[in-house]
Amino acid sequence: MTEGTKEPLPDSRNVPALLVALQTQQRSCTVVVTGTPGGAIHVRDGLVVAMETPGAPGVEGLLLRSGRIGEEAWSAVRAADTTHEHLAAELVHRGLVGAGELEVISLSALFDAAFALSLAVPDSWEVTDPVPTLYRNAGVTPERLLGEVSRRVNLLAGEPGSVAALARTRLRTASTARIPGIVGRLPARHQDVLATTDGRRTARDIAFTLGRGLFSVMIDLRLLLDRGLVRPHTPSTEQRPSTAPRIAPPAAAPSALDSTSLPRRLPGRHSAPAHRPHD
């Protein structure tokens, strides 16, 4: 374990404080964060080089879902480097993706995962040995990471808590989006987001479907919300299942029921009584 050979980490109150401590000690490790969504933060020589979380598409998702590289080519790269320590170099070496392009994707996935992780308070975290991961960048300081995350939250926030709520909300296309000519005047990427907004998908689901970042999808959704083209999907059955009331409605007058008592089946007669009070 790395823990035994290095000086112990001070007790960190939160993940940002832990990252600053790791930067001071120039550690190489992986911080496993548990919670919803949870994830892993990869630190090399004190700088953050990659983050993975189920809350946002990672480098692999961005490469594959956007169609930049095919599944077969990706499998071949993974098979060629079973330790997964040189995946980035292998991708560039095979000419599947340019070095600059991979650097852009690696950084955008890192900041996007940081943004996704910031939307929920983690349950706990653990510092482990470095886990090999796909990245190609020189590393980012915790200060820059936090600065960018708060810039993103401020950019989206209308009121406190609204960013996390927006990330969780299922959205559907508003009826205004069906008016001819409206959608056609949107930039192509807004049209793509609109096409995947179906009432079941959240911002995260749309990001995974399109192979784009969570934050960039949320920026587009915020604009579409402001223009009234999408709206939160609130199914009518959300409050409680539609069952019959279990108590008699108080409006029913008991005296009226007494006067016409329930029809009684008489022995020897199989048909229903001729007179039914509710007919």
Partner 1 sequence: MSSLDAALGRALTTPGISGAALLDAVTGLSYAELGDVSASQDSCEIAEIARIRLTRAGAAGELENVIVTTSTQHLVTIQLPRQGDPLLLCATVDRERTNLTWALRELNRHADELLA
Is 57 exposed, middle or buried, given 0-12, 13-18 or 19+ CB atoms closer than 10 A?
Answer: buried
Query: Of these, 188, 248, 256, 272, which contacts partner 1 (CB under 8 A)?
Result: 188
192 makes contact with partner 1 (CB under 8 A): no
Query: Of these, 44, 201, 204, 212, which contacts partner 1 (CB under 8 A)?
Result: 212
Binding part of the chain for partner 1, among 120-128, 214-222, 238-246, 256-264 by CB under 8 A, reads 214-222
Instruction: Answer yes or no: are the C-beta atoms of 145 and 17 closer than 8 Å.
Output: no
Enumerate residues 149-168 that contact partner 1 by CB under 8 A: 151-152
Query: Of these, 131, 138, 165, 179, which contacts partner 1 (CB under 8 A)?
Result: 138
Helix (H) or strand (E) run with residue 241 in it: none
205 makes contact with partner 1 (CB under 8 A): no
CA–CA separation, 27 and 43 (whole Å): 7
Our CB check for partner 1 shows the closer of 99 and 131 to be 99
- Least Å distance, CB 12 to partner 1, is 26
**Quick count: other Cβ atoms within 10 Å of Cβ 190?**
17
Our CB check for partner 1 shows the closer of 39 and 213 to be 213
Binding part of the chain for partner 1, among 29-37, 167-175, 181-189, 251-259 by CB under 8 A, reads 181-189
CA–CA separation, 117 and 126 (whole Å): 15
6 makes contact with partner 1 (CB under 8 A): no
Query: Of these, 25, 108, 128, 196, which contacts partner 1 (CB under 8 A)?
Result: 108
- What does each C-alpha distance from 163 to 54, 82, 137, 166, 172 come to in angstroms? 17, 39, 28, 5, 18
Our CB check for partner 1 shows the closer of 12 and 108 to be 108
φ, ψ of residue 172 in degrees (nearest 5) = -130, 160
Three-state DSSP class for residue 162: helix
Instruction: Answer yes or no: are the C-beta atoms of 42 and 51 closer than 8 Å.
Output: yes
Query: Of these, 8, 71, 83, 185, which contacts partner 1 (CB under 8 A)?
Result: 185
- Least Å distance, CB 185 to partner 1, is 6
